[in-house]
Amino acid sequence: MSANAPAFDQRYVRELPGTYEHVRPTPLANPHWVCWNAQLARELNVPFDADAEALRALSGNGLFAGSEPVAEKYAGHQFGVWNPDLGDGRGLLLGEWADANGKAWEFHLKGAGKTPFSRFGDGRAVLRSSIREMLASEALHALGIPTTRALALVGSDEPVRREQIETAAMLTRVTPSHIRFGHFEWFAYSNQPEQVAALVEHCLVHHFPNSRSAAEFFTEVVERTARLIAHWMAYGFCHGVMNTDNMSILGETFDFGPYAFLDATIPDFICNHTDAQGRYAFHQQPGIAFWNLQCLAQALSSQVSSDDLKAALNRYADTYNDHFLKLMGERLGLATVQENDQQLISDWMHLLASERRDFHHSFRALADRAPDDWAQLDDDAIDRPAFQRWRSALAERRQNETDQGIPLAQARNPISVLRTHLAQAVIDDVKKGSVASLEEYLLALQSPFERREDWQRWSETPPIDYQAAPLSCSS
Ligand code: AMP
Ligand code: MG
Domain end call among 356, 390, 412: 412
Number of separate domains in the chain: 2
Q: Is the CB of 83 under 6 A from ligand 1?
A: no
Residue nearest to atom 12 of ligand 1 (CA): 89
**Is residue 372 domain-resident?**
yes
Overall pTM surpassing 0.85 (yes/no): yes
**Is residue 382 domain-resident?**
yes
**Is residue 222 domain-resident?**
no
Domain end call among 123, 143, 175: 175
Higher pLDDT, 167 or 471: 167
Per-residue pLDDT at 4: 45
Residue 411's closest CA among 322, 323, 332? Answer: 332
Higher pLDDT, 65 or 130: 130
Query: Span 268-282, mean pLDDT?
Result: 96
**Is residue 345 domain-resident?**
yes
**Residue range of the domain that includes 108:** 11-175
How close is the Cα of 147 to the center of ligand 2, in Å? Answer: 14
Residue nearest to atom 23 of ligand 1 (CA): 89
Per-residue pLDDT at 58: 97
Ligand 1 pocket: which of 81, 86, 114, 247 to mutate (most atoms within 8 A of CB): 86
The pair phi, psi for residue 72, each rounded to 5°, is: -85, 145
Query: Span 305-313, mean pLDDT?
Result: 98
**Is residue 48 domain-resident?**
yes
**Is residue 383 domain-resident?**
yes
Residue nearest to atom 11 of ligand 1 (CA): 89
Per-residue pLDDT at 24: 97
Residue 67's closest CA among 80, 78, 56, 76? Answer: 56
Share in percent of the chain as helix, strand, coil (round to 5): 45, 15, 40
E strand residue ranges, 25-148? 32-36, 70-72, 76-78, 81-83, 91-98, 104-110, 125-126
pLDDT band with cut points at 50, 70 and 90 for residue 475: low
Ligand 1 pocket: which of 21, 115, 118, 271 to mutate (most atoms within 8 A of CB): 118
Domain end call among 146, 175, 204: 175
C-alpha 38: how far from chain center: 19
Separation between Cα atoms, residue 237 and residue 144, nearest integer Å: 13
The 8-class DSSP code of residue 374 comes to G
**Is residue 215 domain-resident?**
no
The pair phi, psi for residue 159, each rounded to 5°, is: -75, 145
Separation between Cα atoms, residue 430 and residue 219, nearest integer Å: 44
Q: What percent of the chain has pLDDT over 70?
A: 98
Per-residue pLDDT at 184: 98
How close is the Cα of 126 to the center of ligand 1, in Å? Answer: 12
Per-residue pLDDT at 47: 85
Per-residue pLDDT at 426: 98
**Active-site residues: which are they?**
245
**Is residue 358 domain-resident?**
yes
Residue 4 CB partners (closer than 8 Å, separation 6+): none
C-alpha 406: how far from chain center: 28
Q: Is the CB of 113 under 6 A from ligand 1?
A: no
Per-residue pLDDT at 3: 44
